[in-house]
Structure 1
Amino acid sequence: MVRAFSLLIVALLVGGVYLLPEADPLRIGADMLQEVVSEATLPNPADPETRVAVAPQPEEAEDTREQGVWPPTESESAVIGIGEQLDRRLADWLRERVPFTPTAEQQAPQPITLFDAWKATDAYSVVETEAGPVGRLELHGVHALVEGYEVGEDALLLSGRARDAILRGLRIAGQKHTPIVEVLDNIEPGTGGLNVIVTITPDRLRLGWHMANEVPVGHEFPWSPPDRRSLLPPLVAIALALALRKPAVSLVVGVVTGAYLLRRGQGGGVLESIGGGTLDVGTKFFMDQFGDLERAEIIGFVICMLAMVGILVRNGGLRGVMNAISRFANTARSTQVVTYLMGLLVFFDDYANTILVGGTMRPLADRFKVSREKIAYIVDSTAAPVAGLSIFSTWIAFEVSTFSAQLPLAGLSAQDGYAVFLDTLPYRFYCIFALVMVAVLVLTRRDFGPMWTAENRAATTGQLVREGGQPMVGARATNMQPAPGVTLRAYRAVVPLTAFVGVTLSEILRVGGAFAADAQLGSIQGMTQVLYDGSGAWPLFAGSFVGLFLAVVFSLEAGLRGEIAKAAWNTLRSMGIAIVILYLAWMIGAVCSEIGTAYYLTDTLGDLQYPLLLPVTLFLLSGAVSFSTGSSWGTMSILLPLVVGLSYQLGSQMPLAEGTHFGHGLMILSIGAVLEGSIFGDHCSPISDTTVLSSVAVASDHVDHVRTQAPYALLVMLVAIVAGYFPCAAFAGWNPLYSLVLGTALLYACVRLLGKRVPDAEPDPDAA
């Protein structure tokens, strides 16, 4: 009966998609170009491999606008503004950071114009055609020079890392947007360079990478702007996962649905799209993820960490650590407190936090009969929130990069991005209240909703997973005991785990350039940039591999030669479904990216904005996008470039005392709201890779983890709005400290009123 009702709800939700409005195709195209601008990373000008030359521009340029189509529409203006912004961004970068050495003919630097809407070369224009307005962006003459400076006919000549940076940005855009395109990057010196052309019309999108003076290469497809059907793949996957409690099957259905819709959007018939879309699931979406080195390194990191934990259990090291921690964690409550504190300490990366804290604390939680759902919630709630708030994490430079280029629209410099980020910290209400919520729950030992059911079950019956539940790691691994006769020595676990943290951090610093002669580690901006440049899966994989190696060494020292492979295999043999679900989560993220789910939501809901409600609207919008796509970073990169100018302009219309206005304050609030909404949606989404990893780390049923965590996340979301974003926007000048005190009081009151105390349980001496 319950399952039938759940399926009925799924059907109603899917049908309700068709009641949503259509989106503006050209505005969505503008959003796509906006993200190309925001994601293109510029090179380090101090790098000796960077070569830049600027040619003088013609004194007079022909106006190539077609007559009769001016002034442009609002959507056309948005497209033009992106071209002008790209022009300003690269031009300012060249002026401020690259030493200009004039030639004999040029005794003084010339004005730099990389992109001009009015040049005879038509570098950027908007014209009217039979098919509708056309937005066109061209980047001419990206050259591959081996050494030295060169001045030619083109406006911009790049080589070395400068050229690679442009290509990297284009490749990211090609992988994320509709359609998937290839980037031509095998340009040899003397071929004339690289031309980049992006054209958007209401029915066609062309992204072409051309060799100058040669036959064009690239791809052109019929293009339909993302519409309400773009919500179907994530909605179907999420709804079926919650209704059927079979995440793998549900994700497959969602991916197939998206592949079918993409084929239909390219003009295929129903049967052709069903067959072709199903084929694309394996040949395109799976192979793209399977062949991605970053994805492979993440899988390798998870495998090494879980194998290491299995070996540490068998060689007695983890039991030795548990015995030492038991001085402080000798009850269910104190165990949860220690888990929470460990989550706060591992602040440099959310992946490392999830796997390290979850993998090491799960055996101790099992001993004191803490449900897997509760330990997964604690781990998940101290991963992204801590990394998102930390000024020394792999997150901060990315977060700053998504909005810093837009700060000139608010009268600030792009170099003020880190100062603005620090200003947002008191307004990061969801992350702060999520951490407060965990503290209140573990200290009061109270829970409510499905989490109380799970905790009561574990405490009274010792059943750590719901009957019929499917843990992401099997019982053979979680029930493993130290080898008979082995001496329990904590150092056998402490040294490998410490080595994992140390090697991971050192690799992040090395890859990020911290050991280079020109590294600027004396400033927050320089240090966080190093952490961002060094972020990725490789440092995690390298650290986990070293940790696994040391675990093997100490097991040999303990005389367990024949137990090592067996212990690792017992941990890994049952996690095949976890790897499948992780790949499927990445696949449906790629489908959502290609079909334009985020762009449709942004365009459709973006008009629901009022000055006083703007932070609340942005918080809910970013939460919806992140929940639907399973990506907090993807949501930030889409929404934040659009927020700075809008929020500052609206806030400047709200006068304050002494001739000032609320522009800067509303901008800070709005940036914080998008950052927080992105983390909130990711926190709740069953298709988020961090949510999946939390289930893997503690061997929880994935759907049960999502179901028990969602009520807490929703309560924190409501408190963040009611106590945080609404009063801060409605009462300009409201002290955020008032919001933090009010929100904490509300959370405590809700837990006291809604929650019930979980009964104490006798510890299980046989737990690993």
Structure 2
Amino acid sequence: MQASLVSLLPLVLTFLLALTLRRTLLALGAGVLCGSLLLADWQPLAGVAYLWHILSQQFYAAGAWQQWHLNVLAAMVLLGMMTQLLARGGAVEALGQWLYLRVRREPQARIGIVLLGWLVFIDGIFSCLAVGHVCQPLVDRYGISRRQLAYLVDSTASPLCALLPFSTWGPYVMALLAGIGFLPVSPLSAFLQMAQVNFYAVLTLGIAAWAAWSGMGFPKPISKPKAMPGWEKCRLRAESQSDAAAKANPWLLGVPILTLLGGAMVLTLCSGARQVAGWDLSLWLAKADIGAAMRDASLLACLLTLVMLKGTGRSVSLLWRDLALGFRLILYAIAILLFTWMIGAVIRDLGVASLLAGWAQLYLSSQLLLAGMFLLCALMAFATGSSWGTFAIMIPIGSEIAAAVAPEMLLPALSAVMAGSVFGDHCSPISDTSVLSATSSGCEPHEHVVSQLPFALIAAVAALLGYQLLNVGMGAAWVWLSCASMVVLSLALAKRYYGPWRRLDHSLIFSSK
């Protein structure tokens, strides 16, 4: 279909419904329906046929099963069931007792979420699934907002993967870079140089760590019980010290988590090693089947959880009940993810991404090359909900544009492509990572997107400044100093003029003093 302004109608409808009705599934469904009718020339029967076509293609297309989608869905179901097993079987309570004897402050619990997110660097979707599901019961233990958990999960997933060549993102991006005939260095060297000036990813990780330490921007959950007086807390702690120590067993939760993380890493490397003759780690990752590794590691961890809980005396009937509950609770997230994939297919068939890329070639100035690339890719990723899709389109196009107008800015321009894509995907209500971060953390996707938007905008504005300074020839060290200073100043102003952040009508807003 020839792209035109009418092609933007499904996206506009989706965004308006998501922001006004705050019902992500309804908004996505309306966008998919509108796009299908548009592609079918407003013929209802043809639109229904198209809907069935794109739905079936999520599972079976071109004569082959879509293993990535099937494996992601299987991993979601298994992780959802494992979460309920751990929560209802006493594993989380046991870890809570263990942490209660050692963690003295709430910021330590929040920082622990960030550190776990950094450890799960192998894949963005896997990080969102694993960290969100595992930490969801723990944040309730320490009175941390579910929206803050979703923000920390989302802000330590894709931004970190965009910086590491040995994540699943690395081989994908390097494969795109290898297709650029005039690339002055190897794809791996180009990726590393691009990561050095990926301002948005680095600043987002830094802001997330600071927000975890300070707790800024996320009020306490309404249901959190009032704190008991200090003397009473000390008395009860002294009386129950021996009992708490006896019940504290971090391994009941720790072993399944370590199995999940370690198994995913080992299975990923093994699947790649079977396809490569040598000992090149980057080639292993490039050939690895991350979807199957996610699925198998989740299955292994879930089975181990069942065995360990059965060993504690939990009955088989209760274990089956926990599994069924976990399956029912994860169905909503699966439905949203399916609609997210379907609207991505609609957007692709409408040619929205190509339309945006064509506008860039016509109107992008050489004096604003890097900033323009960042904004364009942010808009495209926000509209499509896919950073990888934006990479696939804009890395080849961006390299051609940069080579034509400013060849010396080729690698910074490609870095701006990656940074803008991550920013747009990070803020998009139809992004799979945004949806999975929210649902795996136990909050609504709309609430997650709105609550993390101020932090994301601060990082994005600083990154935009950084790319413009690079464009005018400022040294990288001074650019980083300028970006960091702008982030610090923005956070200080937000805290001064818009703090404390208050809850009104169960939503997060900035309210002045």
Q: Measure the CA separation in 2 of the matches of 1:425 and 1:326.
A: 38
Residue 224 of structure 2: which of 440, 451, 462 is its match?
462
Give runs of aligned pairs for residues 605-620 of structure 1, distance below 5 A.
605-620=360-375
Give runs of aligned pairs for residues 370-385 of structure 1, distance below 5 A.
370-385=144-159
Which deviates more from structure 2 when the two are superposed, residues 340-349 or residues 290-299? Answer: 290-299
Give runs of aligned pairs for residues 387-402 of structure 1, distance below 5 A.
387-402=161-176
1:390 aligned counterpart, secondary structure? coil
Give runs of aligned pairs for residues 239-388 of structure 1, distance below 5 A.
239-264=16-41, 270=42, 273-281=43-51, 283-291=52-60, 292-326=66-100, 329-388=103-162
Tell whether the 8 Å contact from 2:32 to 2:346 is kept in structure 1 after alignment.
yes
Residue 492 of structure 2 aligns with an amino acid whose one-letter code is: R
Residue 232 (structure 1) aligns with = 9
Tell whether the 8 Å contact from 2:275 to 2:287 is kept in structure 1 after alignment.
no
Residue 319 of structure 1 aligns with an amino acid whose one-letter code is: E
Q: Measure the CA separation in 1 of the matches of 2:115 and 2:134.
A: 13
Residue 409 of structure 1: which of 176, 182, 194 is its match?
182
Tell whether the 8 Å contact from 1:317 to 1:488 is kept in structure 2 after alignment.
no
Residue 203 (structure 2) aligns with = 433
TM-score, length of structure 1 as denominator length = 0.59
Q: Measure the CA separation in 1 of the matches of 2:354 and 2:469.
A: 29
Residue 490 of structure 1: which of 247, 250, 253 is its match?
250
Q: Measure the CA separation in 1 of the matches of 2:468 and 2:54.
A: 41
1:700 aligned counterpart, secondary structure? coil
Displacement after TM superposition at 1:327 (Å):
5.2
Tell whether the 8 Å contact from 2:40 to 2:50 is kept in structure 1 after alignment.
no
Tell whether the 8 Å contact from 1:635 to 1:678 is kept in structure 2 after alignment.
yes
Classify 1:323/1:737 alpha carbon distance in 2 versus 1 (closer, same or farther; 3 Å): farther
In the alignment, is residue 752 of structure 1 matched against residue 507 of structure 2? no
Q: Measure the CA separation in 2 of the matches of 1:430 and 1:318.
A: 34
After superposition, the CA RMSD in angstroms is 2.1
Tell whether the 8 Å contact from 2:377 to 2:394 is kept in structure 1 after alignment.
yes
User: Which sections of structure 2, spanning at least 5 residues, go unmatched?
Assistant: 61-65, 226-245, 503-513
Tell whether the 8 Å contact from 2:82 to 2:323 is kept in structure 1 after alignment.
yes
- Provide Cα deviations, 1:386-433, integer angstroms capped at 9, x if missing partner: 111112211111111112221x335x36xx111111111221001011
Identity %: 26
Q: Measure the CA separation in 1 of the matches of 2:289 and 2:469.
A: 36
Residue 638 (structure 1) aligns with = 393
Tell whether the 8 Å contact from 1:499 to 1:546 is kept in structure 2 after alignment.
yes
Residue 725 (structure 1) aligns with = 467
Residue 518 of structure 1 aligns with an amino acid whose one-letter code is: A
1:311 aligned counterpart, secondary structure? helix
Tell whether the 8 Å contact from 1:436 to 1:744 is kept in structure 2 after alignment.
no
Tell whether the 8 Å contact from 2:96 to 2:141 is kept in structure 1 after alignment.
no
Q: Measure the CA separation in 2 of the matches of 1:593 and 1:227.
A: 13
- Provide Cα deviations, 1:274-307, integer angstroms capped at 9, x if missing partner: 33213422x2122222443321211110111121
Q: Measure the CA separation in 2 of the matches of 1:314 and 1:244.
A: 33
Residue 263 (structure 2) aligns with = 503
Q: Measure the CA separation in 2 of the matches of 1:496 and 1:712.
A: 33
Classify 1:725/1:329 alpha carbon distance in 2 versus 1 (closer, same or farther; 3 Å): farther
Give the number of the structure whose alpha-carbon radius of gyration is greater: 1
Residue 478 of structure 2: which of 738, 750, 755 is its match?
738
Q: Measure the CA separation in 2 of the matches of 1:574 and 1:346.
A: 23
Residue 728 of structure 1 aligns with an amino acid whose one-letter code is: L
Residue 706 of structure 1: which of 431, 449, 453 is its match?
449
1:606 aligned counterpart, secondary structure? helix
Classify 1:237/1:301 alpha carbon distance in 2 versus 1 (closer, same or farther; 3 Å): same
- Provide Cα deviations, 1:510-555, integer angstroms capped at 9, x if missing partner: 221x25672232xxxxx22321321432110110000000001111
Tell whether the 8 Å contact from 1:301 to 1:545 is kept in structure 2 after alignment.
yes
- Provide Cα deviations, 1:219-239, integer angstroms capped at 9, x if missing partner: xxxxx4211122122221122
Q: Measure the CA separation in 2 of the matches of 1:639 and 1:557.
A: 53
Give runs of aligned pairs for residues 20-99 of structure 1, distance below 5 A.
none
Residue 505 (structure 2) aligns with = none
Displacement after TM superposition at 1:240 (Å):
0.8
1:225 aligned counterpart, secondary structure? coil
Q: Measure the CA separation in 2 of the matches of 1:600 and 1:687.
A: 19
Q: Measure the CA separation in 1 of the matches of 2:374 and 2:102.
A: 39
Displacement after TM superposition at 1:586 (Å):
0.5
Displacement after TM superposition at 1:253 (Å):
0.9
In the alignment of these two chains, the number of paired residues is 473
More helix by share: 2
1:456 aligned counterpart, secondary structure? coil
Residue 46 of structure 2 aligns with an amino acid whose one-letter code is: G
TM-score, length of structure 2 as denominator length = 0.87
Residue 671 (structure 1) aligns with = 414
- Provide Cα deviations, 1:477-505, integer angstroms capped at 9, x if missing partner: xxxxxxxxx95532222222212122212
2:277 aligned counterpart, secondary structure? coil
- Provide Cα deviations, 1:71-130, integer angstroms capped at 9, x if missing partner: xxxxxxxxxxxxxxxxxxxxxxxxxxxxxxxxxxxxxxxxxxxxxxxxxxxxxxxxxxxx
Displacement after TM superposition at 1:700 (Å):
0.7
Q: Measure the CA separation in 1 of the matches of 2:99 and 2:387.
A: 34
- Provide Cα deviations, 1:549-568, integer angstroms capped at 9, x if missing partner: 00011111111123211122
More strand by share: 1
Tell whether the 8 Å contact from 2:271 to 2:287 is kept in structure 1 after alignment.
yes
Tell whether the 8 Å contact from 2:132 to 2:149 is kept in structure 1 after alignment.
yes
Residue 696 of structure 1: which of 439, 442, 446 is its match?
439
Residue 245 of structure 1 aligns with an amino acid whose one-letter code is: R
Residue 558 of structure 1: which of 312, 324, 346 is its match?
312
Q: Which has the higher contact order (CA 8 A, sep 6+)?
A: 2
Displacement after TM superposition at 1:508 (Å):
1.2
Q: Measure the CA separation in 2 of the matches of 1:498 and 1:583.
A: 29
Residue 646 of structure 1 aligns with an amino acid whose one-letter code is: I
In the alignment, is residue 686 of structure 1 matched against residue 426 of structure 2? no
Classify 1:559/1:349 alpha carbon distance in 2 versus 1 (closer, same or farther; 3 Å): same
Give runs of aligned pairs for residues 105-124 of structure 1, distance below 5 A.
none
2:144 aligned counterpart, secondary structure? coil
Give runs of aligned pairs for residues 440-589 of structure 1, distance below 5 A.
440-447=210-217, 455-456=218-219, 458=221, 462=224, 489-512=249-272, 514-515=273-274, 518-521=277-280, 527-561=281-315, 562-589=317-344
Q: Measure the CA separation in 2 of the matches of 1:544 and 1:693.
A: 16
